[in-house]
Amino acid sequence: MQRIGAFVCWCGSNIAGTVDIDAVTKSAADEPGVVYSAEYQYMCSEGGQLAIRRAVEEHGLTGIAVCACSPRMHETTFRKTAAAAGLNPYMVEIANIREHCSWIHKNRESATEKATILMRAAIAKLNLNKPLFPGESGVVKRALVIGGGIAGIQTALDIADAGYEVDIVEKSPTIGGRMAQLDKTFPTLDCSACILTPKMVDAAQHDNISLYTYSEVDEVSGYVGSFSVKIRQKARSVNRELCNGCGDCITKCPVKKANSEFDEGLSKRSAIYVPFAQAVPNIPVVDRENCTRFKTGKCGLCEKICGTKAIDFEQQDEIIEREYGVIIVATGFKPLSPERYGEYLYGQSPDVLTSLEFERMMNAAGPTGGVLKRLSNNEKPKSIVFIQCVGSRADAKKGKTYCSKICCMYTAKHAMLVKEKYPDIDVHVFYIDVRTPGKNFDEFYRRAAEQYDVNYIKGMVGKLADEDGRLRVIASDLLDGKQITIDADLVVLATAVEASPDVRALGTMLTASMDQNNFFTEAHPKLRPVESPTAGIFLSGVCQGPKDIPETVAQAGAAAVKALGILSKNKLIGNPCIAESNELLCNGCSCCENVCPYGAIEYTEKEINDHGNRNNRRVAQVNEAICQGCGACTVACPSGSMDLKGFTNRQIMAEVDAICRT
Amino acid sequence: MQDLVKEKPFKPLVVSFCCNWCSYAGADLAGSSRLEYPAEVKIIRIPCSCRVDPLFVLRAFQRGADGVIINGCHPGDCHYSTGNYYTRRRMAMLFSMLDFIGIEKERTRLEWVSAAEGARFASVMNEFVGELREMGENKRLGDIRCKE
């Protein structure tokens, strides 16, 4: 039997103003298990806490029921008080008679009655409380960053600089990501490569960073502090140790017709290739789908020319198994393919480009050497139309419901770059709204519109028509409500930022939740923007939602700091209010395992001693370090063997009974 | 006799389960914003709406509750990713069987209230209690053996 002390707080006049404290305190004394009841002006104050500690000592209390404000406010305070009094901190229950009672009711009589009932429910629950002990688990002092774009690189550098080891897993043959494809960045018109490549080199040369390029995450298990991950390092067909990056193999390769991913298919590359000149690591990859050797077994020129004997056609995928304390997701985005919008003639006319293709074309190292031309006839365009919000701010059936955030700015950048290089080209921009929140962003846009004479038209483009080699843009001008047509030589579509759909599989592997657009969900939209709700998983960059480069870098740093918060600990203290299986009752049906969102339930074959009757049975076991204590399994369990510590079936039933008692 | 009934309005007994992360915080916000709702509503805090066993709901009715409301995070916002989806299915199942057991299913509700929706919490409670007042006492499932 418990020896319970009930403590009723006035909270000044906050509670005492509406609730008859005396009546609640007196009625508490009559509740089962209660041996002491008292009231105090401010229970959370030093004096209030001291009164609790004294009462525990004098009356030999085993549990404390506090009738005060919300447990979200002071539960931790009173748990500490209990611990200081020598009790288990989980022998505390709180009746919320302020937020849920005195503050919302004016009638003193009914407020007092309700407060009494809430107190009764807390005491009924407390009678069934048991001491709980949080589990401890160790921390592997190593971080995994998935994705080697600017977000991943920045996170990795920040963690590595703090003295912890980091592995970057990148699926393409080089790190650098989308930022490497950009020509200039807004709003400063910095050269993207000039600011990115030094960071790529820093990451590659950092003592604490290991790069796994051309690699993917195959399997993830474990939990915060101790994730085990299988990384598949895909066969490059080139020995990484032997290759010196001379590039002779690339020049010799007779296949020259493979589409360059880096140039968005606007240029061709050989079958053995590095994606771009500043690739890190500068080690070629054999694209086995296009390589003659792999297709017909005949060729092998690269093998012959290689001075260091680095070419290895027999190379197999390699699986690397590693343990990590934390995982940071930095999987970035891909631009939405506008092929689904037939009205824009993308894929039908070579003169309709996406913004990223246009970006490559403007780049001095790009497919045209930085010369702007029409791909249909290699002539210089006289008029360019930019169409914004292609796939963004659409209804869910047609595209993405969200604003992609960066398109207004990069379109202004593109328009400005064109005007800078070719002042004689007419530039028109169709927009729905121009959104420029950001430091120096609006100034940048206004510069494009005012100084560079870019023609901004508020309106929607209905369709494009191919008129004798020119593109006729038919649109409505929303400001004067008229239909307009513009003949363009080049049309550039500002396509929506889209999370690549294949990250969903990764999300499932990590048990990190994602939204309907395949962006990772943050633990709290305002207060925990870089943490996933799953402990130990952090979010960096566009994988969480559309962002520009400075925001991405800021978030990458924030994710690193949050990750370091775990890496710097030697032990993690868990939440003891987690599920627990009664092996005697468990029949091994797997219902709990199927509903667990964290994969915290495992089954083991075990000898069960059921009142002297020994037999081997398959029973559920809860991994204490993984379980987050939602309780989904407790309700799914048909045999009643699963229960949630701190919120047991009996405790909740007791609360229900106490409330319904008349 | 009629006058006596009018003088003493029926006060339904309402059990409200609130998940710790969204709706309990929403109820706290209703409190700190001083948004009134009937004192008949008594809140039980649970970690997630998926912790609500249909048996808890039945137990409340058996013990004389006139209404039971379960509050969780909005779909997609569950702190535990998918808990409220389980709740939605389980309660759909339970509610569909209530008529069969002998209890109007209008006495139960499943609502999504976020931590930022104090006003919504109060208005949902006002509405629900208002409906229960019109429905009157839950006589059918209340087990006389459970009355003390």
pLDDT digits (tens, 9 = 90+) for B32-49: 999 999 999 999 999 999
> How far is it, in rounded angstroms, from Cα B11 to Cα A634?
33
Q: How far apart are the first and last CA of chain A?
A: 24
**Contact flag A636-B86 (C-beta cutoff 8 Å):** yes
Number of H helices, E strands in chain A: 18, 33
Which chain A residues have a beta carbon less than 8 Å from that of B47?
A: 577, 629-631, 644, 647
Cα–Cα distance, A559 to B54 (Å, whole number): 40
- The total of other beta-carbon atoms located within 10 Å of residue A443's CB is 10
Residue B2 lies in a domain: no
**B2: distance to nearest CA of chain A, Å?**
24
How close is the nearest chain B Cα to the Cα of A633, in Å? Answer: 8
Query: Is the torsion defined by CA of A560, A565, A570, A574 positive or negative?
Result: negative
Residue A613 is predicted with a pLDDT of 87
Q: Phi then psi for A472, rounded to 5 degrees?
A: -90, 120
Confidence label for B78 from pLDDT (cuts 50, 70 and 90): confident
d(CA A539, CA A559) in angstroms, rounded, equals 6
CA-closest candidate to residue A563, choices A88, A28, A139: A139
Cβ neighbours of residue B135 closer than 8 Å, sequence gap 6 or more: B12, B66, B104, B106, B107
Distance CA A357, CA A348 (A): 15
Q: What is the pLDDT of residue B1?
A: 46
Rounded CA-CA distance A270/A288 in Å is 11
Structural domain contains residue B96: yes
From A497's Cα to the closest Cα of chain B, the distance in A is 21
Q: Of A234, A241, A313, A212, nearest to A272 (Cα)?
A: A313
State how far the Cα of A160 lies from the Cα of A442, in Å rounded to an integer. Answer: 36
Total tally of structural domains belonging to chain B: 1
The average pLDDT across A641-648 equals 96
The tens digit of pLDDT for each residue in A8-36 reads 999 999 999 999 999 999 999 999 999 99
Return the H-helix or E-strand segment holding B45.
Answer: strand B41-46
Using a CB–CB cutoff of 8 Å, tell me whether B83 touches chain A.
yes
Residues of the domain holding B49 = 14-143
A381-428 pLDDT, tens digit per residue, is: 999 999 999 999 999 888 999 999 999 999 999 999 999 999 999 999
Judge whether B24 is closer than 8 Å to chain A, CB to CB.
yes
pLDDT at B8: 65
- Point out the residue among A104, A577, A655 whose CB comes nearest to the CB of B34: A104
Q: What is the pLDDT of residues A568-598, one digit of tens each?
A: 999 998 889 999 999 999 999 999 999 998 8
Q: Do B28 and A99 touch (CB under 8 A)?
A: yes
pLDDT at A195: 95
Q: How far is B5 from chain A (nearest CA, A)?
A: 19
Determine contact, residues A489/A470, Cβ cutoff 8 Å.
yes
- Is some CB atom of chain A closer than 8 A to the CB atom of B131? no
Contacts of B39 in chain A (CB under 8 A): 101, 105, 107, 110-111, 113-114
Position B111 scores a pLDDT of: 97
pLDDT digits 0-9 by tens, A306-336: 999 999 999 999 999 999 999 999 999 999 9
> Residue type for A410, please?
Y
pLDDT at B134: 93
Chain A CB contacts of B52 under 8 Å are 635
pLDDT at A130 over 60: yes
Nearest to B44 among A105, A516, A655 (CB): A655
Residues in chain B within 8 Å Cβ distance of A659: 13, 15, 42, 44, 60, 65
CATH topology (fold) of A4-126 = Rossmann fold (3.40.50)
- CA–CA separation, B29 and A98 (whole Å): 11
For residues A256 and A291, the answer to whether their CB atoms sit within 8 Å is no
> Does pLDDT of A55 surpass 70?
yes
Residue with tokens 């379960």: B70
Whole-complex ipTM: 0.93
Note whether A184 and A225 are within 8 A (CB): no
Residues of B in contact with A662 (CB under 8 A): 13, 64, 147-148
How far is A548 from chain B, CA to nearest CA, in Å? 25
Give the separation between CA A149 and CA B96, rounded to whole angstroms. 51
pLDDT at A589: 94
Check residues A148 and B103 and name the one with the higher pLDDT.
A148
Identify the residue among B28, B71, B89, B126 best suited for mutation to test binding to A, counting A beta carbons within 10 A and taking the highest: B28
Buried b (16+ CB within 10 A) or exposed e, A537-572: bbbbbbbbbbbbbebbbebbbbbbebbbebbeeeeb
List, for residues B85-135, the tens digit of each pLDDT value.
Answer: 999 999 999 999 998 888 899 999 999 998 888 999 999 999 999 999 999
Name the pLDDT band for B147 (thresholds 50, 70, 90): low
Residue A322: burial class (beta carbons within 10 Å; 0-12, 13-18, 19+): middle
Q: What DSSP string describes A485-553?
A: EEEESEEEEEEPEE--TTHHHHHHHHT--B-TTSPBPPSBTTTBTTB-SSTTEEE-GGGGS---HHHHH
How close is the nearest chain B Cα to the Cα of A641, in Å?
14
CATH number of A334-498: 3.50.50.60
- Residue range A620-634: mean pLDDT, rounded: 91
The residues spanned by each domain of chain A are 4-126, 142-234+317-332+500-567, 248-305, 334-498, 579-645
The crossing angle, in degrees rounded to 10, of helices A355-362 and A407-421 is 30
Query: What is the dotted CATH code of the domain comprising A142-234+317-332+500-567?
Result: 3.50.50.60
CB A399 within 8 A of CB A433: no
**Cβ–Cβ of B47/A647 closer than 8 Å?**
yes
Query: Would you state the pLDDT for residue A131?
Result: 96
| Lowest mean pLDDT, pick from A257-266, A514-523, B80-89 | A514-523
- The CATH number of whichever domain residue B137 belongs to comes to 3.40.50
What residue of A is the nearest CA neighbor of B13?
A: A660
Q: Which two tokens stand for residue A190?
A: 């910095």
Could you tell me which of A52, A116, A125 has the C-alpha nearest to residue A87?
Answer: A52
CB–CB contacts below 8 A, A to B:
141
Peptide bond before residue A187 is cis, with ω within 30 degrees of 0: yes
Indicate which of A660, A661, A662 best probes the interface with B, i.e. most B CBs within 10 Å of its own CB.
Answer: A660
Give the percent of chain A with pLDDT over 70.
100
Are B24 and A72 within 8 A, CB to CB?
A: yes
pLDDT in tens, A473-496: 999 999 999 999 999 999 999 999
Query: Is residue A167 predicted with pLDDT exceeding 50?
Result: yes
pLDDT at A164 over 90: yes
Distance from C-alpha of A578 to C-alpha of A599, rounded to nearest angstrom: 13
Q: Across the interface, do B53 and A101 touch by the CB < 8 Å criterion?
A: no
Instruction: Return the residue of A nearest to B115 by Cα.
Output: A524
Asked, for residue B8, whether it belongs to a domain, the answer is: no
How many helices (DSSP H) and strands (DSSP E) are in chain B?
Answer: 5, 4
B46:A577 CB<8 A: no
Q: Tell whether B142 lies on the interface with A, counting CB pairs under 8 A.
A: no
Percentage of chain A modeled with pLDDT above 90: 89
| B27 reaches A (C-beta below 8 A) | yes
Tokens in use for A551? 């925001």
Which pLDDT score is estimated for B6?
52
- pTM reported for the whole predicted model: 0.76
CA distance A114 to chain B (A): 6
Query: Burial, A105: exposed, middle or buried (Cβ in 10 Å; 0-12, 13-18, 19+)?
Result: buried
Mutant choice from A630, A639, A652, A662 vs B, greatest count of B C-beta within 10 A: A630
Mean of the per-residue pLDDT values of chain A: 94
Q: What is the pLDDT of residue B139?
A: 77
pLDDT class for B9, splitting at 50, 70, 90? confident
- Side chain identity, residue A223: Y
Higher pLDDT, B74 or A634: A634
- Name the residue among A107, A150, A185 with its Cα closest to residue A332: A150
Per-residue buried b or exposed e for B44-70, using 16+ beta carbons within 10 Å of the residue's own CB = bbbbbbbbbbbbbbbbbbbbbbbbbbb
| Class of A579-645 in CATH | alpha beta
Nearest by CB to B51, from A96, A511, A630: name it.
Answer: A630
- What pLDDT shows up at residue A168? 98
